[in-house]
Structure 1
Amino acid sequence: MGFRDLNRYPAQKARYDQYLIWLESTPAQRQAKFAAITDETKRARAEREDGYVSPFGTAGTTKIYLPTQLIKSGQTGQGAGVATVLLGLLASRTTTATEFAALTTPIKIDTKKFKFAKLTLTSVVPGTVKKASRITGAEYKKPDVDSVTSPFGQGTGGEAYDAAVLAIEETTEYVTFIEGNGGKNRARFTPEG
């Protein structure tokens, strides 16, 4: 530790003491502190419905479908905008229950352990009002963050995961979303497996 760090200690001592109190608190006490500053009405909760996803690499003639939960259309409430963008991006890479019922000879496999590829979109709106940290008590402008995740699969038979990611990243809707909120929005792809 250098002299610069030592010189900053007196100004930061109150925050450090609050941090020590946080470390010594029980999980229940920490949860209570978190609940005191968390506005539950600002929590994004996307509505889901039954649907299907076709895993990557299965050929067009033997394309299989696995049941999962997809984002429901007509979202309302916090995070609805993010959910709607995600729904549009993945519409050609997911199959709703109605679309599945219209297929002539679909191959459906029921499995509970398959890990689908997922796309998470996160909208980050910079904060305008200062709020106290639950750990140090320091005030800062906390951003409003909405994250929504959905599974997806191949759009056409035999499509590879990397090709699907590249195709999604090249869409106008994806680029517009990422550039939103001053470039603070983000996306995360999680591969199958």
Structure 2
Amino acid sequence: MGFRDLNRYPAQKARYDKYKEWLESTPEQRQAKFAAITDETRRARAEREIGYVSPFGTTGNTKVYLPTRIIATNQSGSGAAVAGTLRGLLANYTLTGDDFQALTDPILIEAKKFRFAKLTLTSVVAGTKRASRITGAMYSKPDVDSVTCPFGQNTGGQDYDTAVVAIKTESAYANFLQDNNGRNRARFTPEG
């Protein structure tokens, strides 16, 4: 520890004491402190429904589909705008239950451990000053809404990279990334 750190200690002692108290608290006490500050009504929770996705690279006259949970049509509450944008972007790459029933002779496979390709959209709105639940120090915390949905090919034999490029060229994708002064983010996760 250097002299600079020693000189800062008296000014930071109150925060350090609160930090030590946090470390010594039980998991139940930590959860109570977290719950006192967290506003659950602002937590993004997308409504989901049963949907179907065709894995990338599968070919043939009849495509293979796997059941999964996709974003539902009706969204409300925090994160609804992000979920609506994501649902619109992936509408061509997922099937709802009604769309699947309308297909003639699809191949349905139950694969419990299959890892779908996913797209995550994150909206980041500049936040206000809030007190830390650990030290009590004031800091600026942004409001972040993040929603993830699986997707697959929309034509037989399509590969993952082609689908990602197609999604990135959609105007809704570009508009989403430009919102909130360019703070919004998108992350693609490949299959597997």
Q: TM-score, with normalisation over the residues of structure 2?
A: 0.94
Structure 2: tracts of 5 or more residues without a match = none
**How many angstroms apart in 2 are the aligned matches of 1:171 and 1:8?**
52
Query: What is the alpha-carbon root mean square deviation over aligned residues?
Result: 1.4
Report the identity percentage: 72
Q: Distance in 2 between matches of 1:67 and 1:99?
A: 13
Note the alpha carbon deviations across 1:5-26, whole angstroms, 9 max, x for none. 3333322222222112112211
Is 52-61 or 8-17 further displaced after alignment?
Answer: 8-17
Alpha-carbon distance between aligned partners in 2 of 1:184 and 1:74, rounded to the nearest angstrom: 26
Give the conservation status (yes or no) of the 8 Å contact 1:119–1:151. Answer: yes
Q: Which residue of 1 aligns with 2:18?
A: 18
Q: 4+ residue stretches of structure 1 with deviation over 4 A?
A: none
Q: Tell me how far 1:58 sits from its aligned partner.
A: 0.4
Superimposed CA distance per residue, residues 57-104 of structure 1 (whole angstroms, 9 cap, x where no aligned partner):
101424200001110012111110000000001000001111111111
Match of 1:69 in 2: 69
Answer whether contact 1:60 1:156 (CA < 8 A) is retained: no
Cα deviation 1:131-189 (Å, max 9, x = unaligned): 21111111122221111111111121111112212221222111111111111111121
Assess if the C-alpha contact under 8 Å between 2:119 and 2:148 holds in 1. Answer: yes
Q: Which residue of 2 aligns with 1:28?
A: 28
TM-score (norm 1): 0.94
Cα distance in 2 between the residues matched to 1:171 and 1:158: 21
Question: 1:134-145 alignment to 2 at 5 Å?
Answer: 134-145=133-144
Q: Which amino acid in 2 is paired with 1:41?
A: T
Q: Residues 62 and 105 of structure 2 are in contact (CA less than 8 Å); yes or no, is this contact kept in structure 1?
A: no
Is this contact kept in 1: 2:121–2:186, CA < 8 A? yes
CA distance in 1, matches of 2:164, 2:11: 48
1:17-166 → structure 2 map (5 Å cutoff): 17-128=17-128, 130-166=129-165
The DSSP-based 3-state class of the residue aligned with 1:125 is: strand
Letter in 1 for 2:178: E
Question: How far apart, in 2, do the equivalents of 1:157 and 1:9 lie?
Answer: 64
1:168-183 alignment runs, 5 A limit: 168-183=167-182
Which segment drifts farther, 12-21 or 68-77?
Answer: 12-21
The runs of 5 or more residues in structure 1 that have no matched partner are none
Matched, 1:191 2:190: yes
Tell me, what secondary structure is at the counterpart of 1:121? Answer: strand
Deviates more, 1:168-177 or 1:77-86: 168-177
**Within 2, Cα distance between the matches of 1:7 and 1:165?**
53
Q: Give the secondary-structure state (helix, strand or coil) at the position aligned to 1:126.
A: strand
